[in-house]
Amino acid sequence: MASILKNLSDYSTEGISAHGMSFGIVVSSWNHEITEALYNGALETLLSLGADPAAIHRRNVPGSYELPLGAKWVADQLKPDAIICLGCVIQGETRHFDFICDAVANGLMDLNLRYSLPFIFGVLTPNDQQQAIERAGGKHGNKGIEAAVTAVKMVQLHRQ
């Protein structure tokens, strides 16, 4: 089914618990209204899954391009069980979008493999502002919720 037809953030809580886990959340300040909505979705989800508020650490970076380095610093300094990276890069008229999105995706994938730690890609890459809104708490859900659930599931998988 195409994503345009459903809320992508629906999930079952069966077997998912964030109890005893620690998380870093790195948030891009660019497109602030969107990234704040993503952060709120992630935070509320972690708390609803039993995470201790004191075990959730937020750090801000200027833009999505800075997410990989910010996430690396969080991993080095705080040693969390997973790091959720939240950003929004809206398609523009130039290829800048492609370079930023590729760099962030590749940077986070490299960190996953180098650290053997979940660095969760919670970056929206919409065509326009409306699509971003629809994926940051609108009719298509909230990518922050999806990122938080993914982080918890990856920590559980690693602990098995």
Catalytic choice (19, 32, 96, 158): 96
Side-chain half-sphere of 121: how many Cα atoms within 13 Å?
16
Rounded Cα distance between 33 and 22, Å, is: 25
Q: What residues does 103 pair with on adjacent strands?
A: none
Burial of 143 (0-12, 13-18, 19+ CB in 10 A): buried
| Residue 32 falls in the annotated catalytic set | no
Q: Are strands 119-124 and 136-138 parallel, antiparallel or unpaired?
A: unpaired
Euclidean distance between CA atoms 67 and 76, whole angstroms = 14
What is d(CA 30, CA 126) in angstroms, rounded to the nearest whole number?
Answer: 14
User: Phi, psi at residue 2, to the nearest 5°?
Assistant: -65, 145
* Catalytic center residues: 96
